[in-house]
Structure 1
Amino acid sequence: MISTSISAHQESAAIPASVPDLQGHTRVSVSRVMLTNYRSYKTLSLKLQRSSNMVVLTGENGVGKTNILEAISYAAPGRGLRGAGLDDISRHNKDNWSVALQLALEQDDICEDIKVGTGIEASTTDADSTDKKPHSRRIVKIDGEIANNTNCLGERWSIGWLTPQMDRLFIEGPSSRRKFLDRLTMGLYPDHSRQIGAFERTMRERNRLLSDQGVHADAVWLSALEARMAEHGVAAAVARLEFAGQIAGQIEDAAETPFPKAMLAIDGWLEGLLADGLAPVEVEVQYRERLAHERVLDCRSGRTSTGIHKTDFIVTHKPKSMRADLCSTGEQKALLVGLIIANAHLQTALKRQAPLLLLDEVAAHLDNERRSALFDILGALGSQCWLTGTDMSLFESLKGKAEFFDVSDGKVQPSLQ
């Protein structure tokens, strides 16, 4: 692997402000949430005020607060903030589930309402197949029209999130950090999701071919698969580097806040070659040659040895010059929040639109200074932010500035403040 430090000079444009200029900015918000057979909710219809910049859901653990955030996250490409399987979401693990959202995109005095729906079709089995296990298929509709896939959900808006499960991001294996990097990258480059998916599908096909036929596999077909892997893998690596350079510039130019600035590095073979100045077409050639050379090794191991699926995303606490995995739990959380904020400001500056943010149990793990700073930043961001917590007192400073709901036993009601 080649570790590539990301510097601000790699960005394509300077992003000078830590607080976005909202002139000509598009505000994204959820004005209605409707759920059917979705986890703890048999049905839910939640209507919100258009003016709500922040929505706060409070209630005891396990009552369904995160379920609402997860449902909203399905208006973004991919598998939602939990990464759950389609058959794990329904209320009784057998009923079809659905999520219907009404999004409002507002710019100046013009507001466009967009209806987004997703869920699973009736499970079916192939009568001619020996596999009798039902297979579910997710469908996505935008204003009533069925979309080809989930990638279209990233074209006109983006959604970011932070969950308690992500608190271990810096101390777990590289897979979680790589997915985190890719999720952020999709906010600026929606096609990144398609490139990652295409690479992974082609890689699995190559792995199966080598597993089934070994070194005697059709060399022409292997070469075709490896060419496709190179095409999609290099495109994804380019997007990762471009995004990382942009956010490095955003972090460097931002004002100081209670959230420490981060230094970033990408540890990956393809990304390293690109960062060294090789043209993408040259990197594709080198990758195809390497894949061909590693066929015997990959045949023995049952997996592909080199590629974007091995990349790691390295974060360092800049003021301390300390890798994030060596920092305290509180410092790691602050670094994570800082990256989410930097990404939101970057999208606002480049796209004139901030992402809709879903922050699950974020306030409980911040001290008073950081909590107050976070609320101020979110209030000025320009798109809606959803927060959850078990303790209403943590959100006292947001009274009159946010819309509050009590969540209990599958019911959601406006809070009595």
Structure 2
Amino acid sequence: MALDKITLQNFRNHASSELVETAHFNLLVGENGAGKTNVLEALSLLSPGRGLRRANLAELARRANPEDEPGAFAIGASLIEQGQVSARIGTYTEPDRPNRRLVRINGADAPASALSEWLAISWLTPAMDGLFTDSAGARRRFVDRMTLAVEPGHAKHVTSLENALRERNKLLETGGEPRWLDAIEAQVAQHGAVVAQNRARLIDLLADELSAVPPEPFARPILAYRPGGPTDVAELLAELARARPRDRAAGRALSGPHRDELDVVMASSGVPAASCSTGEQKAMLIAITLAHGVLASSGRPSVLLLDEVAAHLDPVRRAELFRRLGTGKAQIWMTGTELAPFAEIESEAATWRVSRGKLERL
């Protein structure tokens, strides 16, 4: 197990909810809009970033009335390793600072990036079904989240890279002194090279894991990392210096790790994922998620959040999904409108019925 004694206070439609005595499989069932995905979103915020919905913090606090000012929320959980509590982690906001997320680990303040040192969390939601036809930025965020699960320090480099790129854009726009550009480009190159190398290493690991997976019942994808510029520090630094006139005219950097791309094709046909059917895309996305779950659970405790996945699979694929999840080490959280799709694992799962933001243990 990874998480237990989970508490949600004033989060979305949950005024005060608690989940205890969790298991390897954890099921949340209830009608649409009951608050199932809200629980998954709360768990996703126990990792760096904006969670599985990428919502603004002020949207997360529960409001008794829509016209009320944003309040504060709190999410906490005990981290379980080998049957023992190894840490208590939590994230929250304060009433006077609703747009600033705070983190505590074992009772002490900590940066959000520190959460990745304790726990690896990944997820698959219906909103991700269009990943292969979405923007390159969406795929980079997808890759970064997967990378974070195996490289805990990745988030710091991504944040530093984004900040440095914004500062470089400002300097180019305002005609900043060359020495300031030299300094900020050194930061872009330093952090950008690490980000690019981490991403490439993650894709290589996933490709190796996927190569051993049977092509059925889930369509097997072939992954390739396509860098948006040099991945070596010195080469990236030189490219940034050469590209100043071009980037000044464009208003942004036109090459670098912020332009990386994830290429995906279906192994059996060689067709790019973006051109495959919706069902094939879904199957490939599940295959990637399962392969990543193996990588993520090889080190720290890990959690996999699956929102409304089982109900949309045929019986053969659903059985194979449960089989693979059952043999993995990651703690699994799944949602559904009814228990029927989970019949094969119901006896070994911890199950809660969710209704209007309230939880009832079944």
- With the shorter chain as reference, the TM-score category is over 0.9
Alignment of 1:128-147 (within 5 A): 136-147=99-110
Q: CA offsets, 1:213-271, max 9 Å, x none?
A: 23xx211001110111000000111111111111111111234541122111122233x
Q: Residues 412 and 72 of structure 1: is their aligned pair in 2 closer, same or farther, counting only changes over 3 Å?
A: same
Is contact 2:304-2:331 (8 Å) kept? Answer: yes
* Aligned mates of 1:308, 1:269 — CA distance in 2: 5
Q: CA offsets, 1:303-338, max 9 Å, x none?
A: 221111111111111112111111111111110110
Is residue 130 of structure 2 the alignment partner of residue 183 of structure 1? no
Alignment of 1:189-268 (within 5 A): 189-211=151-173, 213-214=174-175, 217-268=176-227
Is contact 1:162-1:360 (8 Å) kept? Answer: yes
The residue that corresponds to 2:80 in the other structure is 104
The residue that corresponds to 2:248 in the other structure is 299
Q: Which amino acid aligns with 1:261?
A: R
* Aligned mates of 1:410, 1:293 — CA distance in 2: 55
Please identify, of 299-308 and 362-371, the stretch whose mean Cα deviation from structure 2 is larger.
299-308
TM-score by length of 1: 0.82
Relative contact order, higher structure (CA 8 A, sep 6+): 1
Please identify, of 302-311 and 291-300, the stretch whose mean Cα deviation from structure 2 is larger.
291-300
Is contact 1:333-1:365 (8 Å) kept? Answer: no
Alignment of 1:14-413 (within 5 A): 28-49=1-22, 52-92=23-63, 94-106=70-82, 111-123=84-96, 136-147=99-110, 149-211=111-173, 213-214=174-175, 217-270=176-229, 273-274=230-231, 283-348=232-297, 350-351=298-299, 355-413=302-360
* Aligned mates of 1:35, 1:192 — CA distance in 2: 28
* Aligned mates of 2:165, 2:268 — CA distance in 1: 40
Q: Which amino acid aligns with 2:157?
A: Q
Q: Which amino acid aligns with 2:305?
A: L
Gaps of 5+ in 1: 1-27, 125-134, 275-282
Structure 1 vs Structure 2 CA RMSD: 1.7
Is contact 1:120-1:137 (8 Å) kept? Answer: yes
Q: Residues 365 and 354 of structure 1: is their aligned pair in 2 closer, same or farther, counting only changes over 3 Å?
A: farther
The residue that corresponds to 2:66 in the other structure is none
Is contact 2:5-2:78 (8 Å) kept? Answer: yes
The structural deviation recorded for 1:403 is 1.4
* Aligned mates of 2:99, 2:222 — CA distance in 1: 42
* Aligned mates of 1:117, 1:247 — CA distance in 2: 30
Q: Which amino acid aligns with 1:34?
A: T
Q: Which amino acid aligns with 1:382?
A: K
The structural deviation recorded for 1:31 is 1.2
Q: Percent identity?
A: 36
Q: CA offsets, 1:276-297, max 9 Å, x none?
A: xxxxxxx222222222222233
- SS of the residue aligned with 1:358? strand
TM-score by length of 2: 0.94
* Aligned mates of 2:244, 2:43 — CA distance in 1: 42
Q: CA offsets, 1:108-149, max 9 Å, x none?
A: xx523421111113435xxxxxxxxxx7321111110111x1
The structural deviation recorded for 1:32 is 1.6
- SS of the residue aligned with 2:352? strand
Is contact 1:35-1:42 (8 Å) kept? Answer: yes
Is contact 2:78-2:85 (8 Å) kept? Answer: no
Gaps of 5+ in 2: 64-68
Is contact 2:71-2:94 (8 Å) kept? Answer: no
Q: Residues 54 and 404 of structure 1: is their aligned pair in 2 closer, same or farther, counting only changes over 3 Å?
A: same
- SS of the residue aligned with 1:404? strand
Q: Which amino acid aligns with 2:335?
A: T
Moved over 4 A (4+): none
* Aligned mates of 2:333, 2:87 — CA distance in 1: 19
